[in-house]
Amino acid sequence: MRSMQGLALTDFQPIPDYHLKAKIAEGGMAEVYEAVYTPLEDEVALKIMKPELARHERYRVRFLREAKLCEKLEHENLVTGFDARRTGSYFFYAMEHIDGATVEERIERDGPFDVRLALYITREVAKALTYLHGRGVIHRDLKPGNFLLTESGKVKIIDLGLAKLPGGMTQDSDQGVTVGTAEYLSPEQARGWDDVDGRSDIYSLGVSLFHMVVGEVPFKGETNQEVIAKQVLSALDRPELKSRQVPAYLHYIIQRMMAKDRGDRFQTPGEVVDQIDENAGDVSDAVRKGPPPKVAPVAGRRASGRRSPGTRGKPPTRAAARRKTRGRRGRRR
């Protein structure tokens, strides 16, 4: 018989109201499972914090902050979260389960994107940023690995674990600490500045746009420290943009989004949207041609690859969830 350490959570089903079907992703802090919310028989993605990390208050606070933020925010370009709870040693919350692939996966499989598709994704992310920034939330970890492109052509931002909340501080004491992914950090993030604002997200989105168009990030190095130094000191002088013969306006948009001085960048995500609209017109035609090809499952999408109809895959309403779970063990916390 296998030891308890060798058992998967699907072997003993420890989460009330959820039947775990298969693990579809794993990160440093949590695992994500394809699951069924049994009171309503809805398919969801269940994000479960690793119990060994749940013993540390710093990680618990960060995980629960992300869960509560996902519950609170409602936008077509953000993955919806609900039902954050604790049961025994497990902290978890549910998310809508989405068919699709991350943009990073598609780049790794197919190479650089068509310019109009890259601009469409950038525009959709910028719309979500307008919503987030309007509520005082700075994402701080924008990158193609955190953008889901669904089979129907919708773009969803995932992973708010490093978000900066209203009031200027996160709850996990990161003053003076570099937070984010080295290849996409703004210069002010790289320096560990405490007054990072929405223009930092615009820089990271600019890096992501470069990555989509060129097929690789603009600054690379043997170590994170080397990459971080380039984010601060190195000019964006890459021949790949010209070699792919991209439009001059796209080169300008990327250069402006990735300006080292945040005062020289577009100051709001809305300005990014306006620039795309003025220069490229309606870029939604990039996805109207048909759904993107399927790839292997990742967090936040259905492992079977079945397409979700319009209403399927949406989370149960919070009122319905509360009615079904009221009085049960493992109540919402």
Given a contact cutoff of 8 angstroms between Cβ atoms, the answer to whether 250 and 119 are in contact is: yes
> How far is residue 195's CA from residue 197's CA, in Å, rounded to a whole number?
6
Nearest to 92 by CA among 136, 27, 47: 47
**Widest Cα–Cα separation across the chain:** 64
105: number of Cβ within 10 Å = 17
Write down the catalytic residue from 141, 195, 197, 282: 141
For tokens 């994107």, what's the residue?
113
Q: How far is CA 286 from CA 64, 117, 283, 295, 316, in A?
A: 37, 5, 6, 19, 31
Within 100-147, residue ranges assigned H as helices are 103-110, 115-134
Given a contact cutoff of 8 angstroms between Cβ atoms, the answer to whether 139 and 186 are in contact is: no
Two tokens, residue 201: 């997200």
Question: Is 141 a residue of the active site?
Answer: yes
Enumerate the active-site residues: 141
